[in-house]
Amino acid sequence: MESTMKPKKKFSFPTAFTILLGLIIVFALLTFIIPAGQYDYNAEGQPIPGTYHTVPPNPQRLKDAIMAPINGMYGIQGSTGNISIYNSGDLYGAIDVALFILLIGGFLGVSMKTGAIDAGINSVVKKLGSRGKLLITVMMIIFAAGGTSYGMAEESLAFYPLILAAMIALGYDALSAVALIMLGAGIGVYGSTINPFSVGIASGIAGIPLADGIIYRIVLLVAGSIIGIIFVRRYATSVQKDPSKSKVADMKEANEKFFLKSKDPGDAPELTPRRKLILTLFMLSFVVMVIGVIPWSDLGITRIATRWWWFGELGALFMVMGIVIGIVGGLGEKGTVDAFIDGARDMLGVALVVAVARGISVVMSNGMIIDTVLYWCEKALTGLTSVAFINSIFLLYIPLSFLIPSSSGLATVTMPIMAPLGSFAGIPEHLIVTAYTSASGLVALVTPTFAVVTGGLAMGRISFAVWWKFVAVLVLLLALLAMVVLSIGVLVGA
């Protein structure tokens, strides 16, 4: 007799869109609970210590929550139409990041259409053979260098399709590829040494040279990178030896079909001289991008002109290079346009996720609860011992980094409060800066409010549940490392 019982449905973790929309609702509800308040701000957009005061509440209702992703796309406050104060002068809406992602998609679509990427990947696979671990080590060091020097973040999104295809072709999985990029660049930001967008701004507000305390940040960078590389290599190697150990094993065939056009190396296009030229143009595009975004003048380098490029210029770069590659590849006008549009279409979901993520910040800013949370932190730190104080600063920066995902915005809002508190407790200002940079970088590895995390996971087709479970141990190790380094800094008094 056949059973009439229906099989139980397996729990499916919500998509990034559902999680982010849920967070918008949660924070909208918190604006009804957390008192609204503000600090007085100086001309540079920095809060003045001791000036916190309550203000009339502005709870975010259903309409505000619905409009939050739209206003987040434009970078405005929905209820007033003003630029959000927490991000100071460098606020940008999600629209420039989203457009950059679409243009990157178009650029990659044209490059893939020429067959040069497949041919190049096949060549790399043949040359590396079983030395995929070397690729992981070298690429993570490169990404960490970008993170520690100029805060490489959104720029890393451009590398996902290429790295994903290469890693999967070598027998690894999509999670290994995403971890290589996100943890490589993220640990670099965690151990920021001369990053002008975090260390530079925070040190300037604290009134100290950028180089103060750099030894502690170098320790975090080197030790953190070693831990991260070992972590990724161990997982990737286990997957290569036994694909069933992959945390995304159920997506193996789908990912191979999605990221690789030809699973049989013999079917890959030939690496002709024309395709070698296309690959050269492809890599040159990324070299130009890196040169354009690094603030050379802030690093004391005068021989290279600082371009101050941002997403507008970067999007234009990849749009132009996509056209050039289409011409060199012989795709013709129609073929180039069709390939560009198809590539941009593949990135549409990623671009929309970024917009929804920015809506969370809009709700918190409009509800005027960010300054209240900062004031509570200020009160909680009073009367602690030196070691307890510096570790409390680090731990407090974790939720603050979630609330304010912009590293420069977080420094602008919090450092005028935290740096004086540290001096009163006998803590060197550079340790306050290091606590801020390490906590902010740590949160940037996992928070769904950060476009780099949501976008990178979407490109790799990795769910938040899988990612959080994967990095949980690593995040705890990096947090422990930061607290040990900060405690040693306090005890040696330097």
**What does the alpha-carbon distance between residue 137 and residue 233 come to, in Å, rounded to a whole number?**
8
Q: Are strands 53-54 and 37-38 parallel, antiparallel or unpaired?
A: antiparallel
Span 32-57, average pLDDT = 84
Report which of 47, 103, 101, 97 is spatially closest to residue 72, judged by C-alpha positions: 97
- Residue 269: inside a domain: yes
* Consecutive H or E run containing 346: helix 332-346
Q: Which of 58-67, 183-192, 217-226, 448-457 has the lowest mean pLDDT?
A: 448-457
- Residue 383: inside a domain: no
Q: For residue range 275-326, what is the model confidence (pLDDT) as tens digits?
A: 999 999 988 987 887 788 777 776 678 888 878 787 788 889 989 999 999 9
- Residue 175: inside a domain: yes
In contact, 99 and 74? CB cutoff 8 Å: no
The better pLDDT of the pair 325, 46 is held by 325
- Residue 186: inside a domain: yes
Look at residue 13 in the predicted model and tell me its pLDDT. 57
- Residue 341: inside a domain: yes
- Residue 358: inside a domain: no
**What does the alpha-carbon distance between residue 317 and residue 15 come to, in Å, rounded to a whole number?**
32
pLDDT above 60 for 224:
yes
- Residue 246: inside a domain: yes
Structure tokens at 408: 């420069």
In contact, 446 and 471? CB cutoff 8 Å: yes
Instruction: Please indicate, yes or no, whether the overall pTM of this predicted structure exceeds 0.85.
Output: no
Q: For residue range 462-490, what is the model confidence (pLDDT) as tens digits?
A: 999 999 999 999 999 999 999 999 999 99
Task: Say how many domains are in the chain.
Answer: 1
DSSP 8-state secondary structure symbol assigned to residue 197: I
Report which of 79, 73, 31 is spatially closest to residue 371, judged by C-alpha positions: 31
In contact, 213 and 489? CB cutoff 8 Å: yes
**What does the alpha-carbon distance between residue 168 and residue 25 come to, in Å, rounded to a whole number?**
37
pLDDT above 90 for 8:
no
Look at residue 80 in the predicted model and tell me its pLDDT. 41
Q: For residue range 418-462, what is the model confidence (pLDDT) as tens digits?
A: 887 787 678 889 999 999 999 999 999 998 878 789 889 988 999
Report which of 132, 235, 118, 255 is spatially closest to residue 183, judged by C-alpha positions: 235
Q: Which domain holds residue 222?
A: 94-353
Task: Report phi then psi at 19, rounded to 5.
Answer: -60, -45
**What does the alpha-carbon distance between residue 191 and residue 193 come to, in Å, rounded to a whole number?**
6
- Residue 230: inside a domain: yes
